[in-house]
Structure formats: C-alpha cells, structure tokens
Amino acid sequence: MVTCNSHFYGSAPSLLPISVRKFQSSCEYHSIASLKFTQVSAKEKKTKPKVPPIQNELHINLVETQQLHCQLLKNCSDCAYRLTFPALKSYSSNAALYSFLITSYIKNNCPEDAVKIYIHMRKTDAKIDNFIIPSALKACCVVPSALLGQEVHGFVVKNGFHSDVFVCNALMMMYSEVGNLASACQLFDKIEKRDAVSWSIMLRNYSRHGMLNEALNLVREMHAIGVKPSEIAMISIIHVIAELADMKLGKGIHAYVTRNMSYEKPSVPLSTALIDLYAKCANLAYARRIFDNLSAASIISWTAMIAAYIHCNDLNEGFRLFIKILVEGVFPNDITILSLVKGCGAARALKLGKLLHAFTLRNGIAMSLNLATAFLDMYGKCSDVRSARSVFNNSTKNKDLMMYSAMISAYAKADCIDEAFDIFAQMTGCGIKPNEITMVSLLSLCAKSGSLEMGKWIHSYLDKQGIKADMVLKTSLVDMYSKCGDIDTAYGLFIKANDRDISMWNAMISGFAMHGHGNSALELFAEMEAQGVIPNDITFIAVLHACSHAGLVQEGKRLFCRMVNEFSLVPKIEHYGCMVDLLSRAGSLEEAQELIKDMPMRPNSAVLGSFLAACKVHKNVNLAEWAAKQFLSLEPEKCGYNVLMSNIWAASNRWENVADIRRAMKDAGIHKEPGFSSIEVHGTIHEFVMGDREHPETPKIYEMIGEMREKLEHAGYTPNVSVVLKNIDMEEKESAVNYHSEKLAMAYGLISTGHGIQLRILKNLRICEDCHNATKLVSKIYGREIIVRDRNRFHHFKEGFCSCNEYW
C-alpha cells in the first residue's frame, strides 16, 4: 500500500479561498493501492503528439482511478507518465492526467473526490488550464457546491480564462445546476462570441426552470441574428414547445427542422423529440407517423412512442407497443421502464404500471433507487397505498429524500395521517432533512383531515429547522389554516407574504368563501385587481363559491358576466356548477333549471347534485324528480341521487317510493356513504358514526349526551325529527337524532378539554338541521366556540349563533 503524501493533508495555513477550505475540511482521503507507470523520456515527450486531456470514449473504473490518483501523488514532479492502459499511453503531462482523473471520478459517481483534486492543484500551484476548469465545474454541479463554483469563477476571471467560450459555457451550466439562473443569464449576456453550445445551454436552462416564454424569446433572437441552431439546440427548442403544448408552434418548428436538416430525414434524437412534442399536444396521429418513418428506432424512440400513448390515455395501444418491443428483440432498460412508469403514474394507469413492475422483477432489471421511487410514486397516484408501502419496505438501499417524500405523498393522497407522520419521523430519524415538497404533502394532509394541531406543529417545525418557505409552501400554510378553521391565522400569513402569486390570492379567497365571508372574499378580489394581478378561472370558481355561500346572487351574476366578457375566459363545468348552486340556494330553482338546460356541455353529478339538494331544502318534488331522471341517465351506478330522492320522498311521507328506491339500491349493490364526524383532541383524531359505542370513553360520552339533552330541553330545544327519514315511531326518531355522529364528537370534546377551549369538528356529509340547531344552543350553554366543517362549508357557532346566518 502507498500512503499519500502528508503535505496533501497537512494542517499548514491555507491560502485557498474560504469556500475551498470549508469543503476541504469536510472531506477525508483514503490510502490507495499503487499502480506501475512507465516513465516517458524527454525524447519521447518531444516527439509524441499531445492529445486533448479528456477522451469521452475512455472510461476506467473506480479502483483504477484511485490507483492513478495515488501514483500521481507519489511521483510529484514535472515528469509525465504513461499508464499500462493502452488508451492512456499518449497522455503527455500531469495536467492532462489530472484533467482525466477529475472526469473519471465524476463518471464513477465520486464528485467529492474530483473536487478534492482541484483543491490539491490549487494548493500546490499546479498548472490549471482551460480543460481542467470545465471538469472541476462539472464536479461542482454534481456535488453540488455553489460556493466552490463561485470560487472557480473567481479563479477564471483572475487568470484571464473568462474570454474562453468553452469555460464560459461550463460556468453557465454550473450556475444553472446549483439553482442560480440569474448568474447564468448574466454570463450569457457577457459572452462576446457565443457558439452553438452557448445558445443550447441557455435554452436548456430556461426550459428546466420552467421559463418557457424566455426560452421562446431566445429562439426568436437566434432567428433574428441568423444563428443556425445545432441539433442539440433544436432538441431543446422542441422540448420547450412540447412543455407549452402549442400545436401551432410545434408544426412550425417541425417545418423548420425539415427545411434546415443536412440529411434526407431528421436524426433519431430529433425525431424522438418531435414524437414527444406531438404527444404532449395530444396529436397521436402525427407522433405515430414520425415513429413509423424512422429507419432504425432506438429504445428511446420506442419509449417516447409508448409514453405518448400512455399520456393520451390510449393504454391498450401502449401495451401492444410494449409487447411489440419484446417481440422485435429490443429489450427495454431501466431508463425505459422509469419513463413508462412515470407516464403510468401521470395517467393513473395502475394495470399497466403493475405489468411493468412484474416485468422488471421477472427479467432482473436493476431496481435502482430512482426506479423504485418511480414505482412507489405511481402506486401512490393510483391510490394503491399497500403496493406503494411494499415497494418502500423492499427497497434495501439507503432510502433518500425523494423516496420518503413519495411515500408521504402516497399516504397523504389516501388520507392516512398517522402513517404519513410515522414515515416523516423515520425520515428525520435517519438524519434526512425534509424539503418543501415533503412539507407541502404533510400540510395538504392536515388540511384534508382538519388536523389543526398537527398543522401548527409542522409550521413550528419549519421555523425551527430554518426551512425557507417558497411561495408554494406559504400558499399551503394559508390553505391548511383556512381548511382547519383558523381563518384569522390564514389571513395573517397572507398579509405577511409580500410576493403573492395568483395561487396564494386564490387560496385566501377560497378560504373566505368556505367560511361564509362573502364580502371579505369580494373585497380581496377587488384588492387583487387593484394590484394588477389578473384573475384566472380558479379565481372565479372561488369568488362564485363565496357569492353562493353568502347569498350574493346579483354580485355572482355580475362576476360571471365579467369573467366571459371582460377577461375572455370560457366558463367550465365548475363555473356553471357554482351558478346553479348560487341560484338554487336562493330559491330560484326554475332559473337554475334553465341554466342547466342551456349549458354548452352535459351537466355532471356535482351540478345535478347541488340542484337536487336545493330541491330538497325548498321541498320542490317535481323539479327534484326531473333532476333525478337526469342524474339516473348520467351515473346510474352512483348512490347520490338515490339517497337524495329517497330523502325527498320521505320528507313528503311517500314511503312506498322510499321503499322502492331502497330496494332497487339493494338489488344493484349500491351502498349509501356512511356519515361520520371527527374531532382532534391533544393531537389525536377521534372518529364517530351514528350511535357509535366503539370508543374507549363511550360511557362518559353517553353520560355527557344525557347531560346535554337535559340542558337543551331546559333551554327550549325540541328535537327536529323531520331529519329522521325512516318510517318509525316518534319516540324512536327522537332517540335517533340524539346520537348523530356530530353530537357524539361534540360530547367527547366537552369531556376531554378544559372550559373555554374551542372545539373543531369535521363532518363528511352536510350537517343536519337538528344538529345545527342543537350546536347553536350548546355553544351558548357551555360557553364554547364550536367550529364545524361539513361537506359544503364552515359553521362557526358562538353564543347561540352561527356564522352561516341560516343560509347553508
């Protein structure tokens, strides 16, 4: 064994910049086995031609790279050496070998060691040329280390390399990879003689950072000054247009490629990019035509075409094409599988995703961490959380942040709050620091489950860990507090955010809408317009919901007209649904019916459901029967219309019709969605169903129910038995309303929390009229503020009043 020279690791005072010294102090070196070299004589050095320091076709493994590194450290002199590897015989200087060594460490996934070599060269005043600098910058990208990249930039300027376009291109790439796009743009603007690579890198940078309009402007600038893009630049341009899904621009760039190509047909990479472009523009015919014209399709082309079918939800054809690959002897690799699995996740194609998983396991394709994460993410998006957890558990390699985040997202989608936080605890226990994506998933889960205490804990964790909140994370916090009933804290966070985007405005307007603060939502909408923020279709859905919950009919009609005439937005089914809900709630059922008939698209279950629910409230059986027929022709297998019509007939004492519809539901195997209520106490969510006796505190809960009933009767409360839609006697009806799930949750909250503590209850269905009246009185009797979130909105009960003002 050869021990590396001590001066390389000595503690002598360093003259390197602080960023390099910081990096060096955090690294450790290893003793490496030696490798014999053949010394090159002075005569041979004169006669041997000098080759470029890095040859892309040459690759040595990590052990050989370490041996070469050790030999260079052992023989520190100005002599050049020739390795026994034939491909390295012509490397005629230490600088050339160091350049090769840096690149080799990067190729062997050891970028930290590559950086150490650069540090060593700086410390020993070794010659650093314009070939070594790009290699060092590439190492900075992979680590990544923005500080070290800036140090290299400083070295470039001080030593006059900033005029070398090759070096400038590497600097642009480095700044983009470490997330500093502004510096990359400044460098690009200062390059006097840009080459095709410069333009390609800048196009790629804009595309990767989602700045598609800037990328298009760059393409126009290239065209204006007569720069002919290289094939790589052309592929970058095509990717930009594909992300925009602009068919017109796509056809234009296709024509440009055809006119300017050097050969009769576009190359396979160009054709593959065009296939992806037309797929994202939902034009499978064009994509398939390009694919069929390929003289020799690569595995990447096959992957792009299959992904195109998946993207356009033509899963059968995608499956057939995958089988055709195997028949033709083109064996897919892990990158192919990775691309297809991601497509299956986006298209929610669980069956095809499972087939790919089985194929991967049966054929011994290496299950890399990225591939395992892709399968996990696909299962999560397809709501198969059990399979997702199986992939997570079977991943024997060190799980990274992406895998933990994917598992948390899968649980978040399945509303499994305990399991999601268990995974989060495992992740932080392993020393992995969560990022914004992880925290957004947890916040969305808290918002759905109404878990304010857990949401507050996450907010506190963000502050303590110093996780910088970007706009997405800030918006998620506003949304979480709104949906958990704390609208004041949500508004406080909104006010503190200086750089609000349209998503944050929408979140706050939606928050006011669901809490019944219609006027506040309209004022915020006016403020948004005054600040020059242009509303989008989601904004109008939020503001129309606000009008609906507050009974602002005329204002809602005016906003709907403004959306069409002033902002040129085409109303979607959601906007029509809001207007139908607005008119129906206000009792204008005939006008709402006409709107449904005049809609340019067929009404969906949400539109008909809101109309049918309003018919029940306003006791209009004739219009309810009309809506039920529409509902039946739309979704006969759904129970929604059956339940609503059963309730409407029950309220009209038409018990024969009720019996018929319930019999039909039973014969068809249609089950009514069970109602439940939940309450969070000391960080734990407790769920109850009607008449529930499974809770450990059941005796105390029912004792409190009895106490509540006595106090309610003294306050003048009489049970509203009309909400019991069963043909039973009066006494049984009165008993039934006493044990509704929201009352059980309320009783548990009263016995489990101190006097004056706010109670927050989540109801999966619409709160019934009897529970609404009872809760108003309970809030006054016990001096508690009670916040109930049902399927439609929030109800804030305080001192015997509700924020809905009986309009719900």
Q: In the chain, how many domains are there?
A: 1
Is 90 exceeded by the pLDDT of residue 634?
no
Is 40 within the bounds of a domain? no
DSSP state of 297: -
Asked whether the predicted pLDDT for residue 366 surpasses 60, the reply is yes
Asked if residue 786 lies in contact with residue 766, where contact means CB atoms within 8 angstroms, the answer is no
Least confident of 216-225, 447-456, 725-734: 725-734
pLDDT at 672 over 70: no
Is 67 inside a domain boundary? no
Which one, of 400, 125, 162, lies nearest residue 137 by Cα? Answer: 162
Mean pLDDT of 609-635: 80
Top pLDDT among 753 and 721 is at 753
Contacts of 728 (CB under 8 A, 6+ apart): 736
Q: How confident is the model at residue 474 (pLDDT cuts 50, 70, 90)?
A: very high
Provide the 3-class DSSP secondary structure of residue 561.
helix
Q: Tell me if 682 is assigned to some domain.
A: yes
Query: Distance between CA 515 and CA 574 in Å, rounded?
Result: 19
Other beta carbons within 10 angstroms of residue 770's beta carbon come to 23
Categorize the per-residue pLDDT at 323 as very low, low, confident or very high, splitting at 50, 70 and 90: confident
Is the Cβ–Cβ distance between 38 and 81 less than 8 Å?
yes
Return the residue matching tokens 């796509």: 250
SS (H, E, C) 759-793: EEEEECCCCCHHHHHHHHHHHHHCCCCEEEECCCC
Q: Is the pLDDT of residue 50 over 90?
A: no
Give the sign of the dihedral formed by CA 582, CA 588, CA 593, CA 599. negative
Per the domain annotation, does 344 fall within a domain? no
Confidence of residue 666 (pLDDT cuts 50, 70, 90): low
Q: Judge whether 352 and 318 are in contact, CB under 8 Å.
A: yes
Query: What letter would DSSP give residue 535?
Result: P
Cβ-proximal residues to 365 (8 Å cutoff; 6+ apart), any chain: 332, 333, 334, 337, 359, 371
Task: Of 4-18, 92-106, 329-343, 476-490, give the range with the top mean pLDDT.
Answer: 476-490
DSSP string, 8-38: GT--SPP-S-HHHHHHHHT-----B----EE
Task: Determine the pLDDT at residue 3.
Answer: 34
Least confident of 14-23, 341-350, 709-718: 14-23
State yes or no: pLDDT of 2 exceeds 80.
no
Judge contact between 302 and 336, C-beta under 8 A. yes
pLDDT digits (tens, 9 = 90+) for 57-81: 456 777 877 877 777 777 654 444 4
In whole angstroms, what is the distance from residue 511 CA to residue 546 CA? 9
Chain centroid offset of residue 210 CA: 14
| Tokens at 715, concatenated | 């306050």
Helix (H/G/I), strand (E/B), else coil: 801: strand
Per mean pLDDT, which range of 91-105, 222-236, 535-549, 723-737 is the poorest?
A: 723-737
Cα separation, 759 vs 756, in Å, equals 9
Q: Which DSSP category does 682 fall into?
A: T
Q: How far is CA 508 from the centre of its chain?
A: 20
In order, the DSSP letters of 106-145 are HHTT-HHHHHHHHHHHHHTT----TTHHHHHHHHHHHTT-
pLDDT > 70: percent of the chain? 82
Dihedral (CA of 358, 359, 360, 364) sign: positive
**What is the pLDDT at residue 352?**
87
Judge whether 323 and 306 are in contact, CB under 8 Å: no
Is the Cβ–Cβ distance between 115 and 23 less than 8 Å?
yes
Average confidence (pLDDT) over 84-112: 70
The alpha carbon of residue 473 and the mean position of all alpha carbons in its chain are separated, in whole angstroms, by 11
pLDDT at 5 over 70: no
Q: How confident is the model at residue 328 (pLDDT cuts 50, 70, 90)?
A: confident
What confidence score (pLDDT) does residue 47 get?
Answer: 39
pLDDT of residue 590: 94
Query: Quick one: pLDDT band at residue 442, thresholds 50, 70, 90?
Result: very high
The total of other beta-carbon atoms located within 10 Å of residue 595's CB is: 19
CA 61 to chain CA centroid, Å, is 37
CA distance 211 to 321: 34
Distance CA 67, CA 641 (A): 75
Inside any domain, residue 520: no
Give ∠ CA 523-529-533 in degrees, rounded to 5: 130
Q: And the tokens for 193?
A: 């003689």
> Which domain does 707 fall in, by range?
676-802
Residue 364 falls within a domain, yes or no? no
CB 802 within 8 A of CB 794: no
The tokens of 797 are what? 């009960």
When mean pLDDT is compared across 278-292, 635-649, 744-758, the lowest value belongs to 635-649
Q: Which residue has the higher pLDDT, 610 or 631?
A: 610
Asked if residue 740 belongs to a domain, the reply is: yes
Lowest mean pLDDT among 326-340, 373-387, 789-803: 326-340
What pLDDT is attached to residue 94? Answer: 67
Check residue 261 and give its pLDDT.
65
| 669 band by pLDDT with thresholds 50, 70 and 90 | low
* Structure confidence at residue 763 (pLDDT): 93
Per the model's pLDDT, the better-predicted residue between 99 and 305 turns out to be: 305
Q: Which long-range contacts (CB under 8 A, 24 or more apart) does 658-663 make?
A: 658/725, 658/727
pLDDT at res. 207: 78
Report which of 20, 330, 274 is spatially closest to residue 153, judged by C-alpha positions. 20
Do residues 452 and 468 touch, judged by C-beta distance below 8 A? Answer: no
Residues of the chain with pLDDT > 90: what percent?
A: 37
Report for 17-21, 51-55, 344-348: range of highest mean pLDDT: 344-348
- Average the pLDDT over 658-682 and give the result: 76
Each residue's pLDDT tens digit, 781-801: 999 999 999 988 899 999 999
Q: Which amino acid is at 79?
A: C
Q: How far apart are CA 133 and CA 117, in angstroms?
A: 12
b/e per residue, 569-586, with b = 16+ CB within 10 A?
bebeebbbbbbbbbbbbb
Q: Which residue has the tokens 């899904």?
A: 245
Residue 674 CA, chain-centre distance (Å), reads 31
Q: How far apart are CA 84 and CA 105, in angstroms?
A: 19
Q: 228 in helix, strand or coil?
A: coil
32 occurs within a structural domain: no
What tokens does 745 get?
Answer: 């949750």
Of the candidates 294, 293, 323, the residue with the CA atom closest to the CA atom of residue 306: 323
Rounded to the nearest 5 percent, the helix, strand and coil shares of the chain are 65, 5, 30
Query: Would you say residue 109 has pLDDT above 60?
Result: yes
pLDDT mean over 641-660:
66
Residue-wise pLDDT for 175-228, tens only, equals: 888 878 888 888 888 888 888 888 888 888 887 777 777 888 888 888 888 877
Please state, rounded to an integer, the average pLDDT across all residues of the chain.
Answer: 82
**Rounded CA separation 330/464 (Å):** 52
